[in-house]
Amino acid sequence: VDINELTNLTNTTFGTDNFGAGDHIAVADASASNATKRVKLPVEIGIAVSDETTDLTTGTSKVSFKMPHAMTLTEVRAYVNTVPTGATIIVDINDDGTPILSTKLSIDISEDTSTSAATPAVLSDTFLDDDTTVSIDIDQVGSTAAGKGLKIWLIGYR
Stretch 124-144: mean pLDDT: 97
Q: What is the pLDDT of residues 54-86, one digit of tens each?
A: 999 999 999 999 999 999 999 999 999 999 999
In this predicted structure, what is the pLDDT of residue 20? 56
Q: What is the pLDDT of residues 9-66, one digit of tens each?
A: 455 555 566 655 555 555 655 666 666 667 788 999 999 999 999 999 999 999 999 9
**Do residues 80 and 150 lie in contact, with contact meaning Cβ atoms separated by under 8 Å?**
yes
Stretch 127-149: mean pLDDT: 97
**Do residues 42 and 67 lie in contact, with contact meaning Cβ atoms separated by under 8 Å?**
no
Q: What is the pLDDT of residues 92-114, one digit of tens each?
A: 999 999 999 999 999 999 999 99
Where are any strands of DSSP class E within 24-87? 42-48, 59-66, 71-79
In this predicted structure, what is the pLDDT of residue 40? 83
In this predicted structure, what is the pLDDT of residue 85? 96
Stretch 127-139: mean pLDDT: 98
CA distance 4 to 25: 12
Three-state DSSP state, 30 = coil
* Residue 147 scores a pLDDT above 70: yes
Stretch 128-156: mean pLDDT: 97
**Do residues 79 and 151 lie in contact, with contact meaning Cβ atoms separated by under 8 Å?**
yes
* Residue 117 scores a pLDDT above 80: yes
CA distance 93 to 134: 7
Q: Which residue blocks in the chain are alpha helix, DSSP H?
A: none
Residues in CB range of 105: below 8 A, 6 or more apart? 76, 77, 78, 90, 91, 92, 93, 114, 117, 121, 152
